[in-house]
Amino acid sequence: MRITVVGLGYIGLPTACLLATKNNDTVYGYDTNSDLISQLNAQTFVTKEIGLDGIMYEVIKSGKLVVDRKLNKSDVYIIAVPTPFNEDKTCDISYIKMAVSSVASILEKGNLIILESTVSPGVTENVCKRIIEDITGFIVGQDILLAYSAERVIPGRIIEELKNNDRIIGGVNLESAKRAAEVYQIFVEGEIHLTDCTTAEVTKIMENTYRDVNIALANEFAKLAEKLGFNVWEAIRLANKHPRVNIHEPGPGVGGHCIAVDPWFFVGMDHEDAVLINAAREINDYMPFYVFEKIRAMAEKLNIKNIGILGVSYKPDIDDIRNSPSSALIEILKSNGFTVYIHDPIVKKFAYALSTTEDLLCNSELLVLMVAHRYYQSMDFTGLLNKSKVKAVLDTKNKLVNYIKNDRFITDVLGKANYLEEKCAE
């Protein structure tokens, strides 16, 4: 089976690599980004994704995976290109249209196209099918097979989850779904479930919406905790002892390219009915502003101007900064006249200069934990802070303050009532 993966991003590249480790024929990886293709071929592309670095150059060196800016004729095309959202919150499918058109121009009877990008319901059946039929003159479902199957993997564990997660595959007809299942069976060890395209598409955005709404609920509880006088972290821990309750974790906001994006597709399609989904998105997007208000309150009390930010990735232990809550917070702090020192143990490229741990501690008066990287949790903060000019610590993930044992610092934790006031009063 000759397979081409179109789009070598966060999902396309690991998918192509895993296919290449097991497929009998060469797998092709196609991307329009010439820098990426050159870096992959020169073996200079660096990834922090566990397990990917190991197999990536093995399959490229052995010729099992050929990456190119030229689209090669294949039996199967897997399309994994980005789908951001438009200003009106609808799903931007321009990359999909381009990719499907390019593939359609070389399609042969009997070929299979699988769309993997996250989309609003109906894109495979209505948009992709029409483009293919218009360009080729073939009939989809008869001459050409077409299926939809979204990835469901979590950045940081992509390789492991690509192999082990269950997979939902929707086909324009049963034959399309079954043929697509044969492709994924090359490397997927999880169960494969067949359905129609629209159900498979909607399942994907429902999963991410479920998580977004639950994080928003946790964030709302955190705000209530501060006003009503309880400790949200302890209350959630205990509430989750109930066999049917799974409250998520509060935090400084929701980042990434999935949970912060996909729920908008529902809102964009039906603003009137997607009331809860819209509210959840707004609650989570507001969290960096909420954290800023806490910083402003502390800064006023303690006469502070220099803020140190711990962590800029969108979540712990990865180098992905897309839509990161820290980026939003840094913009707000800067536009309000604060001087900001930024640190991250993993991220190397960021819009602003990153400080070393020493610079951060020498210059910051208030430290804000935004990302609970393992690095921060294993640092001897108490020792380091003693030698610094830090006066206060704000912990938005309830991970640091508990073990900074020193009365010299004012500490505050998101979701803990009157914590700051108590400490200031002491």
Q: How far is the CB of 118 from ligand SAJ (least distance, A)?
A: 6
Stretch that binds ligand SAJ, among 32-40, 251-259, 304-312, 345-353 (CB under 6 A): 251-259
Backbone conformation region of residue 156, classed left if phi is above 0, alpha if psi is from -120 to 50, else beta = left
Q: Is 208 in the site for ligand SAJ (CB under 6 A)?
A: yes
CB of 207 to ligand SAJ, least distance (A): 4
Q: Are 50 and 157 in contact (CB under 8 A)?
A: yes
C-alpha torsion angle, residues 40, 43, 49, 54 (rounded to 10): 120
Closer residue to ligand SAJ in complex, CB, 254/274: 254
Q: Which residue has the tokens 């690599």?
A: 17
The footprint of ligand SAJ on residues 258-287 (CB under 6 A) is: 258-259
Contact positions with ligand SAJ (CB under 6 A) in 212-231: 215
Per CB under 6 A, 7 contacts ligand SAJ: no
Position with the least CB separation from ligand SAJ: 258
Beta carbons within 8 Å of 390's beta carbon, 6+ residues apart: 308, 361, 364, 365, 366, 367, 409
* Cβ nearer to ligand SAJ, comparing 178 with 322: 322
Q: In this chain, which stretch among 32-40, 56-64, 83-91, 244-252 interacts with ligand SAJ, using CB under 6 A?
A: 244-252
The closest of 280, 223, 286, 281 to 250, measured between CA atoms, is 223
Residue 373 tokens read as 């990287």
Residue with smaller CB distance to ligand SAJ, 12 or 256: 256
Chain positions 394 to 413 lying near ligand SAJ, rule: CB under 6 A, are none
Shortest separation between residue 165's beta carbon and ligand SAJ, angstroms: 8
Minimum CB distance to ligand SAJ, residue 230 (Å): 19
What is the four-CA torsion angle of 6, 189, 111, 123, rounded to 10 degrees?
A: -60
Q: Is 415 among the residues that bind ligand SAJ (CB under 6 A)?
A: no
Site for ligand SAJ in 123-182 (CB under 6 A): 151-155
Q: In one letter, which amino acid is 395?
A: D
Nearer to ligand SAJ, 29 or 415 (CB): 415
Beta pairing partners, 57: none
| C-alpha–C-alpha distance, residues 141 and 114, integer Å | 13
Distance in angstroms (rounded) separating the CA atoms of residues 196 and 74: 24
User: Which of the ranges 18-26, 170-178, 183-191, 248-256 carries the binding residues for ligand SAJ, by CB under 6 A?
Assistant: 248-256
* Residue 72 or 214 with smaller CB distance to ligand SAJ: 214
Q: Which span sits near ligand SAJ by CB under 6 A: 22-30, 39-47, 253-261, 417-425?
A: 253-261
Instruction: Please name every residue paired with 168 in a beta bridge, in sequence order, or none if there are none.
Output: 193
Query: From the list 171, 255, 263, 268, which residue makes contact with ligand SAJ (rule: CB under 6 A)?
Result: 255
The distance of closest approach from Cβ of residue 306 to ligand SAJ in the complex, given in angstroms and rounded to an integer, is: 25
> Segment 11-70, which members bind ligand SAJ (CB under 6 A)?
none
Alpha helices, DSSP H, located in 229-262: 232-239
Residue 197 and residue 125 in contact, taking contact as beta carbons nearer than 8 Å: yes
3-state secondary structure 258-299: CCCCCHHHHHHHCCCCCHHHHHHHHHHHHHHHHHHHHHHHHH
Q: Which residues are catalytic?
A: 204, 258
Q: Of residues 7, 12, 256, 268, which one binds ligand SAJ by CB under 6 A?
A: 256
For 110, phi then psi, to 5°, come to 95, -10
| Positions that interact with ligand SAJ (CB under 6 A) | 118, 151-155, 207-208, 211, 215, 248-249, 251, 254-256, 258-259, 314-315
